[in-house]
């Protein structure tokens, strides 16, 4: 399999990444204009932490953001979410 160069990746994906950044900026602008205080909102904190990951110099950004935004695994998740085991196992 032929791997793309960094130049090919940026050429191919720039407009998609640009659109996602603009969408996030628009969401943040709407929050700034809206009434109410969400300064201590867990979701806002997670977005801020995710953006910090995007701006740092470390690798594995997608993995780190995914882990940040995901729930921790709980062995008893089926019971805690009141899901019938049959629904999960497809029986």
Tell me: do 74 and 86 sit in the same domain.
Answer: yes
Q: Which pLDDT belongs to residue 74?
A: 81
CA quadruple 66, 67, 70, 76: dihedral, nearest 10: 140
The model's pLDDT over 22-40, given as tens digits with 9 standing for 90+, comes to 999 999 999 999 999 988 8
d(CA 86, CA 88): 5
Q: Give the residue numbers spanning the domain of 84.
A: 39-91
Tell me: do 19 and 49 sit in the same domain.
Answer: no
pTM, full prediction: 0.72
Q: Would you call 83 helix, strand, or coil by DSSP? A: coil
**Chain mean pLDDT for the chain:** 90
Tell me: do 49 and 89 sit in the same domain.
Answer: yes
How many structural domains is the chain composed of?
2
Q: 38: which residues sit within 8 A by CB, 6+ positions away?
A: 31, 44
């Amino acid at each position: 399999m032929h791997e793309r160069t960094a130049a090919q990746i940026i050429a191919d994906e720039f407009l998609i990444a640009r659109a996602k950044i603009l969408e996030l900026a628009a969401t943040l602008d709407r929050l700034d204009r809206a009434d109410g205080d969400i300064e201590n909102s867990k979701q806002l904190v997670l977005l801020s932490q995710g953006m910090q990951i995007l701006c740092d110099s470390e690798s594995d950004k997608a993995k780190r953001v995914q882990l940040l935004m995901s729930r921790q695994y709980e062995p008893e998740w089926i019971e805690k979410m009141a899901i019938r085991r049959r629904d999960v196992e497809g029986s």
